[in-house]
Structure 1
């Protein structure tokens, strides 16, 4: 079940674990049993996997100042493999 944050006017904020169907209704304060309203906050993004979090951060950074390519990327990382079968030598190359 999800955790929701509520705020009591006298005691302050507290968290309550409730079913989603009950998220819209108010909750009673666990200290004074008074009525409280639901408080909306930022999502817990730290719970995301590290790869997804870094991709979201990169997307946010590139919204205002995207990186611009200044040259054509090289062919780094590609190694030329020699064919071991003589019949492969006659095949067309890209």
Structure 2
């Protein structure tokens, strides 16, 4: 739902969520009840944070320019099914 900005001549600016079919040029101010005219503002297309933008750009970059690997790397170790973590010894065991 779009967000529209309005300005009251007696109070301050405020924003309202409204369907596009029901948007009005004038609405009553929520504080004083006076007539408030709709402002023309630039569209605010995203509310994502800068870290979200970095993640999106990094993902897009790696899709177009994948990292080149010179060697396949080490093979993963196979687990023996037991753990060396002492906290795991306190967990209940099936009979």
TM class, shorter-length:
0.3 to 0.5
TM-score (norm 1): 0.46
TM-score (norm 2): 0.46
